[in-house]
Amino acid sequence: MDEHYNIDLLTTYETEEAPDKIMSRPNPDRKAANRAIAEKKTELKELKEKYATKLNETKDKDELTIAAFEEQEKELKLEIKTAEMELGLLELKRKEIPSKVESNLKEESVISSQKRRLFINLVKTMNYNCEKWLQLIFCQFHPKADETLSLIRHLLTQPGRIRQRGQILEVELERLDSGVQANTLDKVLEKFREDNHLNLPDGRKLVIWQAL
């Protein structure tokens, strides 16, 4: 990989015909129905919470007071009844939609050539190994090991500034919002410097720090 910089020298964009194979996959119509039901449930929950809040604010809840309250909030009650009815109809409609559909892979798809698939798998493997290597290092300094993977992924999108100074590439990251995570990153970067891991393939030195 170090000897090549042009991806087209390593792989190809050619495709191959997909095999003649019947595949079963989730029905997209079912997914849309689930989404509509979830949205209607959220709407109904908000309406009921609104009704309950108004009821709790009513003083002296005797029969006359409750009757007056229900008369005053009849439009809200109608909205709740309508939402319940619409939810029931959506759930009935979903029952009529198959959860799976079948299709012929050959008629719908093409696949990347084997050479390209092998290259993609190589890149995925390298990415996975790098991520796990970073995680092992972060675990040495972060108090909660189960947070290290999300911390690393958050770090990869952290804003910053890049400057080229001769043979030194400087990266100044905006400091992480969490004091604990920022402290962990400081320790990890210090270990990278001590272990001499901050060198680029072309010989330049990489300097990374968090802004104060």
d(CA 93, CA 108): 28
**27-55 confidence digits (pLDDT tens):** 889 989 999 999 999 999 999 999 888 88
Instruction: Report strand pairing: 100-104 vs 110-112.
Output: unpaired
| Each residue's pLDDT tens digit, 91-149 | 999 999 998 888 887 777 666 666 677 777 888 888 899 899 999 999 999 999 999 99
**Of the candidates 67, 102, 137, which is a domain's last residue?**
102
Query: Given pLDDT bands bounded at 50, 70 and 90, which one contains residue 186?
Result: very high
| Helix ranges restricted to H, 57-147 | 63-72, 74-95, 105-108, 114-139
Provide the token pair at 75. 């439009």
- DSSP one-letter code for 97: S
Tokens of 129: 């190994």
Q: What is the pLDDT of residue 73?
A: 87
Query: pTM higher than 0.85, yes or no?
Result: no
Asked if 167 and 204 count as a contact pair (C-beta separation under 8 A), the reply is yes
Q: Which one is predicted more confidently, 120 or 208?
A: 208
Phi, psi of 103 (to 5 degrees): -150, 160
**35, 69, 102 - which closes a domain:** 102
Total domains, the chain: 2
Given this model, what pLDDT does residue 102 score?
87
Q: Is residue 5 part of a domain?
A: no
